[in-house]
């Protein structure tokens, strides 16, 4: 009997995912995690065949959490579920060790296909993600990493490099902490970095901050 951990900070999303997968898979045990700490505790203390992980968890990017899961259980497959299109984070998620990436707007049938593929020992790469992988192979590699950021993403990157917390950034920019978390996730993904230490080192190296 397969065991799937569904990690999302919205109860209604977890419920919907569970119902969709229960209907199609059957004979599956589900667990739920509403925040980063719950995810890690369940990964540390219980055996799972798959983690379905939201990319935009509270307090911490799902991509960062993916790295922690890989450390705790290197062989545990993780399927990233995101509200963002594959063009933004799909390739980065795969490079960090995800077994697949699927958009929340996708049809339920695609979710089931992705889960079955990963549970079967493979990866799930949609047509859109395959196109993105091909495009990345043809992209010039000599441009500075931060040039791929939007104006707001660049601003958030610099504030992180100056030692501001996400909560402080939200207050200074008069936007929600959730929105700052989204920019934070995008910065990490676009620049191919794992954490804020790497962001700070990069900014210092490129003389973007003093």
Kindly give the pairing relationship between strand 50-54 and strand 28-33.
unpaired
Query: Tell me, what's the pLDDT at 147?
Result: 78
> Rounded to 5, what percent of the chain is helix, strand, coil?
55, 15, 30
Confidence class for position 59, pLDDT limits 50, 70, 90: low
Tell me the whole-structure pTM to 2 decimals: 0.71
- Between 185 and 96, name the one with better pLDDT: 185
Cα–Cα distance measured from residue 172 to residue 146, given in angstroms and rounded to the nearest whole number: 22
**Bigger pLDDT: 135 or 126?**
126
Handedness of CA 54, 117, 12, 37 (dihedral sign): negative
Instruction: Examine the pLDDT at 28 and tell me if it is beyond 70.
Output: yes
CB-CB contact of 24 with 2 (8 Å) = no
Domains of the chain, each with CATH number or no CATH: 2-137 (3.40.50.2300), 145-205 (1.10.10.10)
pLDDT at 79: 96
Q: What is the pLDDT of residues 136-179, one digit of tens each?
A: 666 655 668 887 888 889 899 999 999 999 999 999 888 898 89
Distances (CA, A) of 17 to 118, 137, 144: 16, 33, 39
**Owner of token pair 């620049």:** 191
User: What's the whole-number average pLDDT of the chain?
Assistant: 88
- The H helix count followed by the E strand count for the chain is 10, 5
Q: What is the pLDDT of residues 87-118, one digit of tens each?
A: 667 887 888 899 999 988 888 999 999 999 99
Residue with tokens 């993904």, as numbered in its chain: 189
Distance CA 181, CA 170 (A): 9
Query: Quick one: pLDDT band at residue 210, thresholds 50, 70, 90?
Result: confident
- Distance from the Cα of residue 32 to its chain's centroid: 17
C-alpha–C-alpha distance, residues 206 and 210, integer Å: 10
Report CA dihedral (18, 117, 50, 69) to the nearest 10 degrees: -130
Of 13-22, 124-133, 157-166, 198-207, the least confident: 124-133
Residue 184 or 131, more confident: 184
């Amino acid at each position: 009997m397969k065991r799937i951990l569904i990690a999302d900070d919205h109860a209604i999303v977890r419920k919907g995912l569970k119902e969709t997968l229960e209907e199609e898979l059957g004979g599956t045990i589900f667990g739920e995690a509403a925040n980063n700490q719950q995810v890690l505790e369940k990964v540390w203390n219980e055996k799972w065949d798959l983690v379905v992980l939201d990319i935009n968890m509270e307090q911490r990017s799902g991509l960062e959490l993916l790295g922690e899961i890989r450390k705790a259980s290197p062989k545990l497959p993780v399927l990233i579920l995101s509200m963002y299109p594959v063009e933004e984070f799909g390739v980065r998620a795969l490079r960090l060790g995800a077994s697949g990436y699927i958009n929340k707007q996708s049809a339920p049938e695609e979710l089931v296909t992705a889960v079955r593929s990963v549970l079967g020992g493979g990866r799930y790469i949609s047509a859109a993600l395959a196109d993105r992988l091909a495009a990345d192979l043809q992209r010039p590699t000599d441009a500075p990493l931060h040039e791929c950021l939007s104006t707001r993403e660049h601003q958030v990157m610099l504030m992180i490099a100056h030692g501001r917390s996400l909560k402080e950034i939200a207050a200074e920019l008069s936007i929600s902490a959730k929105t700052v978390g989204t920019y934070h996730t995008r910065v990490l993904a676009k620049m191919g970095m794992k954490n804020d230490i790497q962001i700070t080192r990069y900014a210092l190296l490129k003389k973007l901050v003093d």
